[in-house]
Structure 1
Amino acid sequence: MIDHFLPETPDDDPAARLNAWLLREGLHGAGQEALLEGYCGELVGLGVPLMRLHLAQRALHPEFGGIGFDWLRGGAVSQETYAHSDTPRDRWLQSPLFAVLRDRLPELRIRLDRGDPLPFPMLNDLRDRGGTDYFASAMTFEDPGAVGRIDPHDPPEGFLISWTTDAPGGFRDADLTLLRRTLPQLGLALKSAANRRMGRDLLGVYLGRDAGRRVLTGEIRRGSLQQIRAVICYFDLTGFTRLAEETGGAALIDMLNDYFGIVVGLVQGQGGHVLKFMGDGLLAMFEASDPQAAARAALDMADRLRRDMATRSAERRARGEPATGFTLALHAGDILYGNIGAETRLDFTAIGPAVNQTARISGMHRAVGQDIILSERVMRDAGRTGHDLVSLGRYMLRGVSAPQELFTLHARPEGGNAQKVT
């Protein structure tokens, strides 16, 4: 269907042919890696003696501020992320792409085959690998008049790109003309691909991997809910109110991030999904299309969580940093999972009696003196496992009509034999 609207391209105009290809791939939703690999293949097919392509593109992500892509003839596109840093790396400061930004150069060409001293260290490596010519440029995705002076340490949205050849005599004039004429279309396709990636990454980080995927694929209507079975997890740090009064803000946030990093990594590592953070706690779930697998995954997570939290707390205390314990409640049942809220502010979350009962179980930690409590439903769904599940007795939970038997996960010594006790 898209091809029907693309203009016909004459065979004797390679730039028009490549631009049509870039437009088609952009409309088809090609990702950055696939787009660059195809672009380099098209250039080679059109007679450009390309040895290497490098592209750096700004990213909007909590963990990194940019992404680098490298293509080498005979190989696939590789990717590298550039972590946020207040101190620029020497590798960046001594690169030709930094000079392009700093000096606002429309392009930069450096011959590598003439024996002259090279102004940038990385070009020596390209020359040692047979490179003869280096060509670089930049493109911003914003109105140049609105950008003003560009800060090379905090560049606007856009990308930096370089091409290297090992052909005798370097790039021909026709090669450079082709690169220049197709750069805007490459930029448009890359902007589209980067925006899709940014949306996927940010939704995954802020909503959770599963909720983010559902929102991105169209589950966005208020009140659109799906009934699923899941193991619900309530995690909470103990003594946080006291610590908040005694600890400075930066140290407190560092502690939260440290502990949350452990529990989120373990939940996701066992196939679970973090639904939301709630002050010093979080709500997570293991979808139970296979109830036994979900219950066992939750128990494996809980067992590892106890050990990893104890290890991290000991490390923090040894460094003189604030540390604390945790509580974890597990229950299984049917939940409603989807969009809840107001017209202008929605939350993709879980509600239902199973979520409420998990909260009630979470309130029993002090009464039973255990950091991990699970319901009889989780215990029965898990079946026989290597975990030692010990009954804590039957309790009346607020808002629950029938008495509920609760269990804990016994902390056995490392290497000890496990036996379920009910």
Structure 2
Amino acid sequence: MNAVELNAITDWLIDGARSAASPSLMMAESCERMVAAGLPLWRVGVFIRTLHPEIFGRNFIWKQGAAEVEVGTVDFEIQETPGFKRSPLSLVFSEGLEVRGDPNGPEAERFPFLVDLRNEGATDYLALPLHFLDNTFHAMTLTTRQPGGFTDEQVAVLRSMAKPLTRITEIITLRRTASMLLDTYVGNRAGERIMGGQIRRGHAETMQAVIWLSDLRGFTALSDRLPAETVVQILNQYFDCQVAAIRAHGGEVLKFMGDGLLAVFPIDEYVGDASQVCSRVLEAARESRASVEALSIPVGEVIERFRFGVALHVGHILYGNIGGGNRLDFTCIGRAVNLAARLEKITGRLGRTVVASESFVGVCNAGWTELGEFPIAGFSEAQRVYGLAEEMPVVMA
């Protein structure tokens, strides 16, 4: 092994692996440098547990000769699978143990995964804990095809290399975790702005957007007659019916307010894409309507069915940080948001699922019917309201 090259790898990692623009490239370059320094690596895996509501962890797999690093995710259910329970990774994650196994030895009885490695010609397997500063354990696995497996000297070097690799991996993971949490709780665009430094009260910008405001019909009565746990289950499934459609069509969910949902679809005024954005919003509304209509949840002996209302409006909003002291909310405010909120209340009175303002209909002329002019609280003039011609009004009992 070349000690000078190995020291250079350590220095490169400590300096932030600056020549690698992404985690997968950093891993590929690390492995290739170690091989060039004389370490007989055939397969290397890095497994990182994540702070994410749906994803248990991410994995990065490098194989000698492969075109690129394989990147994947696993959900929380993997922890209950027999394969994971009998995997060396379960010991690394839960107890921070180092695990070494000979694919051709008795360890293959304990860890069936080693049989798969043996079938591919592996001669040794080493799983090392990556110990983060918060006392969580992540893992790196190293496999070789070298006859006789890793030497004691090579194992010692791999252990020493794991330390700087742990630190750079933790930094990358923390940045990714912060980004994912912001995406989860405030939305993608808002998260990008916060990560970019817009963290002070008053940091805001004016933008043109379609405003989407919706709520669930009969939610108060529903909350009164059902257990709180059931109501939460219903709300989660109900929001699923909208969020997927909103995001798929370019919108960002900013806020959940009880059974209410506020989303925005930004419009780039410079390229004049208002018509396209509004068309996508209308398609999202139709998809959400179909999903909510198809939603049925058994509660005892009763099958609960649901209806909702959504108001669509185009206008300028102030988008940014609002709050008091060090407790801020990244949201949108303005006359356009107020009008959308008032229009949403009209959906229930008219028995409509989708209503739109005159400004939205003026941009997206797609089979609307005028429902009349209505006085709007807080507005000096009555507002024309439109509904989809394809919808028949339904009065809730």
Q: Same fold (TM over 0.5)?
A: yes
CA distance in 2, matches of 1:224, 1:62: 29
Distance 1:362 1:410, change over 3 A: same
Are 1:129 and 2:120 matched, yes or no?
Answer: yes
CA distance in 1, matches of 2:107, 2:78: 34
8 Å contact kept, 2:101–2:108: no
CA distance in 2, matches of 1:115, 1:233: 61
Q: What residue number does 1:333 align with?
A: 315
Of 73, 85, 88 in structure 2, the residue corresponding to residue 81 of structure 1 is: 73
Distance 1:316 1:73, change over 3 A: farther
8 Å contact kept, 1:26–1:190: no
Of 366, 370, 376 in structure 2, the residue corresponding to residue 397 of structure 1 is: 376
The Cα shift of 1:391 comes to 1.1
Of 240, 252, 258 in structure 2, the residue corresponding to residue 279 of structure 1 is: 258
The Cα shift of 1:30 comes to 5.1
Structure 1 residue runs without a partner (length 5+): 1-10, 144-155, 414-422
Q: CA RMSD in A?
A: 2.4
CA distance in 1, matches of 2:246, 2:96: 46
CA distance in 2, matches of 1:24, 1:391: 64
CA distance in 1, matches of 2:90, 2:387: 57
Deviating more after overlay: 95-104 vs 398-407: 95-104
CA distance in 1, matches of 2:42, 2:340: 59
Of 147, 150, 159 in structure 2, the residue corresponding to residue 180 of structure 1 is: 159
CA distance in 2, matches of 1:12, 1:29: 22
The TM-score with structure 1 as length reference comes to 0.85
8 Å contact kept, 1:303–1:409: no
Q: What residue number does 1:149 align with?
A: none
Are 1:298 and 2:281 matched, yes or no?
Answer: yes
The TM-score with structure 2 as length reference comes to 0.90
5 Å-filtered alignment, 1:409-420, equals 409-411=388-390
Q: What amino acid is the match of 1:276?
A: K
8 Å contact kept, 1:112–1:118: no
Deviating more after overlay: 321-330 vs 200-209: 321-330
8 Å contact kept, 1:234–1:283: yes
Q: What amino acid is the match of 1:88?
A: E
SS of 2:221's equivalent in the other structure is: helix
SS of 1:363's equivalent in the other structure is: helix
The Cα shift of 1:90 comes to 1.3
The Cα shift of 1:381 comes to 1.2
8 Å contact kept, 1:51–1:166: yes
Are 1:373 and 2:355 matched, yes or no?
Answer: yes
String of CA shifts for 1:161-196, please: whole Å, max 9, x gaps.
110011222223443232122111000000000000
Q: What amino acid is the match of 1:324?
A: F
CA distance in 2, matches of 1:205, 1:367: 33
The Cα shift of 1:283 comes to 0.5
Deviating more after overlay: 110-119 vs 347-356: 110-119
8 Å contact kept, 1:14–1:178: no
Distance 1:52 1:108, change over 3 A: same
The Cα shift of 1:356 comes to 0.6
The count of residues paired between Structure 1 and Structure 2 equals: 386
The Cα shift of 1:120 comes to 1.0
CA distance in 1, matches of 2:301, 2:93: 42
The Cα shift of 1:32 comes to 3.1
The Cα shift of 1:25 comes to 3.2
SS of 1:13's equivalent in the other structure is: helix
Identical counterparts, % of pairs: 34
String of CA shifts for 1:370-398, please: whole Å, max 9, x gaps.
22110110011124xxx421111222222
CA distance in 2, matches of 1:21, 1:78: 23
Q: What amino acid is the match of 1:372?
A: V
8 Å contact kept, 2:235–2:259: yes
